[in-house]
C-alpha cells in the first residue's frame, strides 16, 4: 500500500512540476512544508499532532492545474473576488496530517486520550490581494482513515531506532482504532481574510496584521488572529508562512532577498472536528461535542530567509489541548521550503 502510494505521489508531483514549469510564469513555484515534533530539540513527545506534510504549487495566472476550479470559482464569485483590478493568485496543494495518542504501544482502544486520526487531502485556493488586505477562498477534499499514515509513521520510527541505536520510539500499535478506519471521504470550505495595520507598521522593517477565518466541513470553526514580522522585509504581509499544512498561510511570497523573524497567535471557536468526533462512520474511539474544547489557541515563532529564487522557514509551534480532560499542550517544529521558477 505504502509503496504504491509513494510511486503515485512521485509521478503526480513530477507531472505537476512539469505543467507549472512549462507555464513559464515569473510568479510560479512549488512549496514543501514539513511539520514534525522531532524537529523540536529535547522535546520529541510523539503525540497529538505528530506529523504533517504538504506540497503546494502556485501561480499568478489561471493557467496551472486547478482540479477544483468550479467550486472555488463559485465561492470566490460570491465573495466578490472576480472582475477585480487587484492581484489574484492561485494554488494547488497535496498534503496529509497525522494525530496520535500519547501511548503508541497499546493495541487496544484508548478512551482517555485523543484518537488516532489521519487525513490525506487535495485543495485549491484563490487569493485576492492588494497593499492593505488579502481575501482567500479554499476548497479541500480528502480521505480520512487510510493506512498511509500508519505505514509512514512505522517506517520513520524504524529508521530512527536504527540510526540512534535506541528502543524508542516504538512502532504505533493502535492505528486500527483510528477515526474512520479503512477510509472515508471528507470535505472543507475555508474563507479567510488578512488586514495590514498601517498605523502599527513600518514598510520594510516591521508590520502587524490581523486575520479572521471561517471553516465549514470536517473542521467547522471560526478563528481570529494577529501576526507581527520584523527584519529586512520585501515580501507582502499576506505571505507570512504560519501553519501552511493545516490552515494555510495565504500564499507563498514573491522571490526576494530578505529575512525576518515573526510571531503569530490565533484563537479558534470550535464547532465540530471530525478528527476528534468522527464523521458519518462509527469509529472505535471518538468523543462527543461536550468533551471537546470549544476555545483553542495556537501560535508560532519563526525565522524566514528569502533568496533570489527560494525561501526557507523554521518555526516552533504550539497549541492548547483539544479535549477538556487533557491539560497538556502540543509542540512541534515546522520546516518550509519554497522554490520559484
Predicted local confidence at residue 163, as pLDDT: 84
C-alpha 274/C-alpha 231 separation (Å) is 39
| Residues 219-261: tens digit of each pLDDT | 999 999 999 999 999 988 988 999 999 876 677 777 788 999 9
Above pLDDT 70, what percent of the chain?
Answer: 85
Cα atoms found within 13 Å of the Cα of residue 13, Cβ hemisphere only: 16
Alpha-carbon span 257 to 235, nearest angstrom: 9
Mean pLDDT to the nearest integer, 60-89: 66
- Reported as a pLDDT band with limits 50, 70 and 90, residue 61 is low
The total of structural domains in the chain comes to: 1
E strand or H helix at 116: none
Residue 322 clears pLDDT 70, i.e. is over it: yes
Name, of 21-30, 252-261, 329-338, the range with top average pLDDT: 329-338
- Measured N-to-C along each axis, helices 2-22 and 148-164 cross at an angle, to the nearest 10 degrees, of 100
pLDDT value, residue 250: 74
| pLDDT tens per residue, range 165-216 | 888 788 889 999 999 999 999 999 998 989 999 988 888 899 999 999 999 9
Are 222 and 272 in contact, with CB atoms under 8 Å apart? no
Q: Distance between CA atoms of 148 and 156, rounded to whole angstroms?
A: 12
* CATH code, domain with 322: 2.40.128.140
> Is 5 a residue whose pLDDT tops 80?
no
pLDDT at 63: 58
Residue 33 has pLDDT above 80, yes or no: yes
| pLDDT confidence band for 2 (50 / 70 / 90) | very low
Quick: pLDDT tens for 96-155: 999 999 898 899 999 999 999 999 999 988 888 888 888 888 889 999 999 888 888 888
- Assigned C-alpha cell, 19: 505543467
Q: What pLDDT score was predicted for residue 115?
A: 95
The predicted structure's pLDDT at residue 21: 39
Task: Return the pLDDT at 1.
Answer: 42
Percent of the chain clearing pLDDT 90 (strictly above): 49
| Cell numbers representing residue 53 in the block | 506534510
Q: How far is CA 103 from CA 106, 116, 275, in A?
A: 6, 11, 18
Question: Between these two residues, 50 and 287, which has the higher pLDDT value?
Answer: 287
Question: What does the angle CA 126 – CA 333 – CA 34 come to, to the nearest 5 degrees?
Answer: 45
Domain extent at residue 154: 2-340
Residue with more model confidence, 291 or 239: 291
pLDDT at 12: 44
Nearest to 100 by CA among 180, 178, 42, 158: 178
Residue 67 pLDDT: 64
Residue 89 grid cell: 493568485
Q: What is the per-residue pLDDT for 211?
A: 94
Amino acid at each position: 500500500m505504502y509503496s504504491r502510494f509513494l510511486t503515485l505521489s512521485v509521478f503526480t508531483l513530477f507531472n505537476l512540476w512539469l505543467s507549472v514549469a512549462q507555464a513559464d510564469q515569473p510568479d510560479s513555484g512549488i512549496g514543501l512544508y514539513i511539520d514534525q515534533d522531532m524537529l523540536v530539540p529535547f522535546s520529541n513527545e510523539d503525540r497529538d499532532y505528530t506529523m504533517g506534510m504538504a506540497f503546494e504549487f502556485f501561480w499568478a495566472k489561471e493557467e496551472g492545474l486547478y482540479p477544483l476550479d468550479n467550486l472555488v470559482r463559485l465561492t470566490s464569485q460570491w465573495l466578490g473576488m472576480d472582475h477585480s483590478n487587484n492581484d489574484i493568485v492561485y494554488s494547488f496543494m497535496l498534503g496529509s496530517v497525522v494525530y496520535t495518542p500519547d501511548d503508541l504501544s497499546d493495541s487496544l482502544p484508548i478512551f482517555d486520550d485523543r484518537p488516532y486520526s489521519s487525513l490525506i487531502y487535495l485543495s485549491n485556493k484563490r487569493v485576492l490581494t492588494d497593499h492593505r488586505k488579502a481575501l482567500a477562498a479554499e476548497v479541500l477534499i480528502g480521505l480520512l482513515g487510510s493506512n498511509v499514515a500508519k505505514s509512514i509513521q512505522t517506517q520513520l520510527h524504524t529508521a530512527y531506532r536504527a540510526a540512534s541505536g535506541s528502543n524508542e520510539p516504538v512502532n504505533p500499535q493502535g492505528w486500527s482504532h483510528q477515526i474512520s478506519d479503512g477510509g472515508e471521504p471528507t470535505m472543507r470550505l475555508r474563507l479567510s481574510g488578512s488586514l495590514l495595520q498601517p498605523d502599527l507598521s513600518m514598510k520594510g522593517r516591521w508590520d502587524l496584521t490581523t486575520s479572521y477565518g471561517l471553516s465549514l466541513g470536517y473542521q467547522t470553526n471560526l478563528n481570529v488572529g494577529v501576526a507581527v514580522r520584523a527584519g529586512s522585509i520585501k515580501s507582502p504581509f499576506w505571505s507570512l508562512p504560519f501553519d501552511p499544512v493545516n490552515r494555510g498561510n495565504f500564499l507563498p511570497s514573491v522571490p526576494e532577498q530578505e529575512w525576518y523573524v515573526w510571531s503569530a497567535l490565533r484563537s479558534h471557536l470550535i464547532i465540530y472536528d471530525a478528527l476528534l468526533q468522527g464523521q458519518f462512520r462509527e469509529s472505535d474511539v471518538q468523543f462527543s461535542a461536550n468533551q471537546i474544547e470549544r476555545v483553542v489557541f495556537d501560535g508560532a515563532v519563526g525565522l524566514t530567509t528569502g533568496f533570489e529564487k527560494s525561501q526557507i522557514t523554521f518555526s516552533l509551534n504550539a497549541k492548547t489541548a483539544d479535549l477538556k480532560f487533557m491539560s497538556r499542550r502540543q509542540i512541534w517544529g515546522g520546516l518550509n521550503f519554497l522554490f520559484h521558477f
